[in-house]
Amino acid sequence: MAHGETGKIKNPGPFVFHASVKSTLLVLMIVGVATFGGGLMADSKRAWASLVQNHFFFMSLALGGLFIAALNYITSAMWSAPIKRIYESFTSYLPFALLTFLAVAVGIHHIYEWSHPEFVKGDLVLEGKASYLSIGFFVIRNVVALCIWIFFAMKMLKNSVAQDANGDHRLTLKNKAMAPVFLIVFAITYTMASYDQMMSLDPHWFSTIFGVYCFSGLFYSTLALTAVMAIYLRRNGVLQGIVNDNHLHDLGKFMYAFSVFWAYIGFSQFMLIWYANMPEETGYFLHRLHGGWALMTYLLPLKFLVPFFLLLQRDSKRSESRLLGVGLFMLAAHWFDLMWVVQPEFFKEGPQFGWIEIGTTIGFIGLFGTCVVRFMGKHNIVAIGDPRLPEAVFHHHQ
């Protein structure tokens, strides 16, 4: 591995994962494709439900990396400079998120009830939404949103990577100028994607806070994955002397804070609908609070309670093993949260969890992991040209 010097900070260069990791990820992708294909023949409803759930989960992780990058540019955050390249690597999946959305579009008649004219006809609510919930408009606006996200990712990452070579601080200023534009576009387009891809699974239901609920999950899960990857890389020796317990502490504080934020938004959504008690809104929660879905609904607060109590103390946020365990739990908890959002619209009787769901998820893990591995093997694992890096490393060693 090549090394260079930036002040007193040694450049660890790209991180080339072991061939066994790459092979494993390839096998996972093959398993995922085979499982989805087999699922279409064995139980197509479960296969399509698993596809849309995993598409949204991994798309949000990739977009979350770009969101955190833009957020840190606009705030001139210093602490995150040593781990910047980690969350930037997640954005390499965005072009594949476009492909998986096109797969969702292919199965639109199997996923979204509003795509059937006979289902809409005679329904006053759906007829009123027909101009928005139309197949052509649905596909076009979501493809445009993904293309916009990919454009911003390519522009911001191009500047970030180029800065490693020339150290030009003006590239930081360019990204800082782009960041507020992206964040405004992100707020609009991700809310739209959340309404379209998740909320319209039940086309009669609506919640004006649903976009924020999905955003809270995006930030929650992306912070968790960033912590998991930072610890993995640190244990492999490539971030020694750059990422220390203070940086993990900062990540832990964000993970703790946004587990609380997720709970706040989730409870606010539920409480306002419960208090208003309007039939057109309460149906969404009623069949999740009864029957086969009741247990999962009552377990959902663990998504908040586990990180809240395990990361409550200062030392727990600085513990590699504790932070790693909580990070993995948070990723799994968010996956089950999306399962709770998606599956009740397909299976009123209760959750479906078996070889189709596991295999499809494994395939997405393989695809997302391959994108991240390739990115990290091609680019410096640390944004060595970032002008904030020396201050971040020096300050956090005090």
Tens digits of per-residue pLDDT, 9-24? Answer: 889 999 999 999 999 9
Classify 250 as helix, strand or coil.
helix
The pLDDT of residue 167 is 86
User: What's the mean per-residue pLDDT of the chain?
Assistant: 94
Q: What is the mean pLDDT of residues 240-254?
A: 93
Mean pLDDT computed over 195-206:
96
Q: What is the pLDDT of residue 310?
A: 97
Whole-angstrom Cα distance, residue 282 to residue 383?
Answer: 48
Burial pattern 357-388, b for ≥16 Cβ within 10 A else e, equals bebbbbbbbbbbbbbbbebbeebbbbbbbbbb
- Rounded to whole angstroms, the Cα distance separating 224 from 301 reads 17
The three-state secondary structure class of 381 is coil
**Range 84-107 average pLDDT:** 97
Average pLDDT over residues 370-395: 92
Domain boundaries, the chain: 13-395
CA distances in angstroms from 334 to 161, 231, 311, listed in the order given: 31, 20, 17
Residue 3: its pLDDT value, please?
Answer: 40
Of residues 167 and 175, which shows the higher confidence score? 175
Q: Global pTM?
A: 0.95
